[in-house]
Structure 1
């Protein structure tokens, strides 16, 4: 029987049960590891245990019934950036040999772990994320999961956000719990994720649909912002190469779009809009106006857009450059008058749905915005 020491998120009972693959037979015992502490950045979904010369970490010592459970915990810990290391753990005043999972680097001692505060902010996201991570056990190397951890976390955050659904006054209020799902398979798991669902859903005639198999592209939420200068009546668009048009066979795979980016776990869509405006266009926005939040292609994708107008003092330069080299972004920016932007809609050169929608929204609200400038 192997004993392991876990602390922080890995010691949270609901999460530990998912990682272990079910309830643990033995009762975890309060334990302490000296010479280590949770990482200095506590306001993250998965702060990890790292060495600290004067540190002290409180956690639990768990007796594992078999090697499989240890392998599952080791796998998830590795996906979070931790390595199993033999340590002496203090339990009831005695030292016991056990395995602890530590990340790289060293830091100063941190404050005591606030499990309740962490669970309130991150708990639901962490449970969704670790469910996906544990689902790759035996199917995908942990280092590959670690390489895409931010996408895993963003998908988890999107699932949590989806629970705050808008009302159903015209559409059916039939809950998702009435869908009968008989199977779910991950058919691709890289930077992006696709799943195949086998299910039956309630039909409008009161019966259940025949058995169906449906594939879905599991994406994240995204924030989109159309920068607008009401005093000068001009907008900023970004241009970049896109795989969708290229894969479709479009001879012109460079497209015009609003500023856009993934909503990271723990980040609000508004914060994403401000961040992306700076990263893609070098803009500090003066304010945001919410346009709409909607699914982009609900027949095959979970992708959900939060669209904003970003009030800004736009530069006089017609073209600029933007994007992060670390994300291999190659972006060109265009500042143009509102009438010129609407001409792109008329000609079809503006052929990205969110941009067309956002320009039409601006067309409706433009008199109000200009009068207040």
Structure 2
């Protein structure tokens, strides 16, 4: 349902170098009935999916570590971030995307995933919605090394932690990625692992 209090007046592309950064001018009708013109920038990179692989028997999870430039610019001295496997949908449905990304990044070939929720991660400036999944894994599902796609510049390290160690890493600040924190807390709150 469209918001009748918002009318887009103009959209300008500020950058189309990596993804699209738009400057949007819109008219907003306020609660008192008056209107005002506002400008905002919105970064459109498409939607994504993320997954937490877990092993109930071993009480372990699979995470990844890779360099993330924005964190480096904002004070992360190494730029390395521990995360759940994730990727952009690239015109796929979320389930197909996350199965592909899981195999590319972690080397695990999974067939059954469970979607647990969706979330806007930075709704003040980014259009992206992320589809969150969980799936069980076993050693037998490991069909490749993982590490991501070289042609996409990916250099991803695959990590396995006990669920307790991963949760402790949130407390110590070793895990600072929002999607990862959300999925780790989800599986603990739901007593999945």
TM-score between the two structures when normalised by the length of structure 1? 0.48
The whole-number CA distance in structure 1 between the counterparts of 2:53 and 2:168 is: 17
Q: In the TM superposition, what are the counterparts of 1:136-215 in structure 2 within 5 Å?
A: 175-203=2-30, 205-215=31-41
Aligned to 1:6: none
Is the 8 Å Cα contact of residues 99 and 111 (structure 2) preserved in structure 1? no
Which consecutive unaligned segments of at least 5 residues does structure 1 have?
Answer: 1-172
Aligned to 2:67: 241
Q: How many residues align?
A: 190
Which consecutive unaligned segments of at least 5 residues does structure 2 have?
Answer: none
**Secondary structure of residue in 2 paired with 1:300:** coil
Please, what is the CA RMSD of the aligned residues?
A: 1.9
Is the 8 Å Cα contact of residues 219 and 303 (structure 1) preserved in structure 2? yes
C-alpha deviation, 1:348, in angstroms: 1.5
Aligned to 1:222: 48
Higher strand content, 1 or 2: 2
| CA-to-aligned-CA distance 1:267-325 (integer Å, 9 cap, x gap) | 1101111111100000012421212101110101101100101211147x9xx651111
Is the 8 Å Cα contact of residues 108 and 146 (structure 2) preserved in structure 1? no
Q: In the TM superposition, what are the counterparts of 1:235-314 in structure 2 within 5 Å?
A: 235-265=61-91, 267-314=92-139
Higher helix content, 1 or 2: 1
C-alpha deviation, 1:236, in angstroms: 0.5
Is the 8 Å Cα contact of residues 234 and 314 (structure 1) preserved in structure 2? no
TM-score between the two structures when normalised by the length of structure 2? 0.91
Q: In the TM superposition, what are the counterparts of 1:76-91 in structure 2 within 5 Å?
A: none
Higher RCO (CA < 8 A, seq sep 6+): 2
Is the 8 Å Cα contact of residues 13 and 20 (structure 2) preserved in structure 1? yes
Residues 328/211 of structure 1: CA separation in 2 closer, same or farther (3 Å cut): same
Is the 8 Å Cα contact of residues 229 and 311 (structure 1) preserved in structure 2? yes
Is the 8 Å Cα contact of residues 51 and 85 (structure 2) preserved in structure 1? yes
The whole-number CA distance in structure 2 between the counterparts of 1:208 and 1:268 is: 41
Residues 208/192 of structure 1: CA separation in 2 closer, same or farther (3 Å cut): farther
The list of structure 1 runs, each at least 4 consecutive aligned residues, that deviate by more than 3 angstroms after superposition, is none
| CA-to-aligned-CA distance 1:241-289 (integer Å, 9 cap, x gap) | 0011022232131000000011021x11011111111000000124212
**Secondary structure of residue in 1 paired with 2:189:** helix
Is the 8 Å Cα contact of residues 29 and 36 (structure 2) preserved in structure 1? no
Computing the radius of gyration from Cα coordinates, the structure with the larger value is 1
